């Protein structure tokens, strides 16, 4: 089902304390400016953009993809694998419950949306430091009535599955080299990501449009060769917190 709305949250002042694998200092003012450009790209792709106010309790809460999923007509409230992010999902549960049936991932399961790749006839879930086997089993049970099989995929050194692959629609997958030949992706047309541009494996495909991080010309060129309208946005301040363009919105 095509998405029509993107739920986003502006970075708060507390975003400087977001989880990060680097020592780079985040510029919050620049992050907010980049977030505004991202919202403009979502609108250019034809989505209604629902902007929530910053939640200073949770430094990472601008990364809306992780605390909840919307699949097969239901909202699934996740249980983040990062302990400091637990609670973010409750801020979304009430909003989502007014619009959709709601289910939950329960302890001991953990699941983050950044590990979930929805394909036309299946759902692949990265087994990572953020999403565990128990969480994946619970998701499989929740999606079974919709006839969507859930397949676990080890992510190796990647933070999330969507750090390494992106579904572009029409049977095409953008993938870093280490994932390109995995059997689970057999039957998909693989668009390879050059090693020098691995950060740009995380793109957000929206019909004939695709939002990509700015500054990765080879990936942008490959996507244009797929007849996609490339919408580049600056993401330097989100990359500092290991985030990308899919991370910043929850699609409905």
Q: Which residues are catalytic?
A: 160, 247
Angle at Cα 48 formed by Cα 47 and Cα 52, nearest 5°? 125
Helices (H) and strands (E) in the chain, counts: 6, 15
Q: What share of the chain is helix, strand, coil (3-state, %, to 5)?
A: 35, 25, 40
Per-residue tokens: 230: 């490339």
Angle at Cα 35 formed by Cα 30 and Cα 36, nearest 5°? 100
d(CA 119, CA 194): 23
DSSP-derived secondary structure for 169-233:
ETTEEEEEHHHHT-GGGTTSEEEEEPGGGGGGG--EEETTEEEEETT-HHHHHHHHHTT-EEEEE
d(CA 240, CA 251): 23
Per-residue tokens: 201: 């494996």
Per-residue tokens: 103: 């289910």
């Amino acid at each position: 089902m095509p998405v029509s709305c993107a739920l986003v949250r502006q970075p708060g002042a507390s975003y400087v304390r977001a989880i990060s694998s680097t020592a780079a200092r985040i510029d919050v003012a620049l992050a907010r400016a980049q977030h505004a450009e991202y919202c403009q790209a979502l609108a250019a792709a034809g989505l209604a953009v629902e902007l929530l106010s910053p939640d200073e309790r949770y430094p990472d809460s601008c990364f809306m993809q992780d605390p909840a999923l919307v699949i097969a007509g239901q909202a699934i409230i996740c249980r983040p694998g990062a302990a400091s992010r637990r609670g973010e999902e409750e801020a979304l549960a009430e909003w989502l419950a007014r619009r959709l049936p709601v289910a939950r991932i329960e302890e001991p399961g953990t699941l983050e949306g950044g590990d979930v790749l929805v394909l036309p006839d299946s759902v692949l879930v990265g087994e990572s430091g953020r999403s565990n086997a128990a969480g994946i089993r619970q998701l499989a049970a929740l999606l079974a009535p919709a006839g969507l099989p859930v397949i676990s995929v080890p992510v190796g050194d990647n933070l999330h599955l969507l750090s390494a692959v992106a579904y572009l629609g029409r049977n095409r997958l953008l993938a870093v080299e280490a994932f390109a030949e995995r059997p689970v992706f057999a039957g998909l047309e693989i668009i390879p990501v050059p090693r020098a541009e691995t950060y740009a494996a995380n793109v957000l495909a929206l019909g004939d449009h695709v939002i990509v991080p700015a500054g990765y010309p080879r990936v942008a060129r490959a996507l244009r060769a797929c007849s996609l309208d490339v919408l580049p946005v600056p993401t330097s301040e989100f990359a500092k917190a290991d985030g990308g363009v899919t991370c910043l919105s929850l699609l409905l």
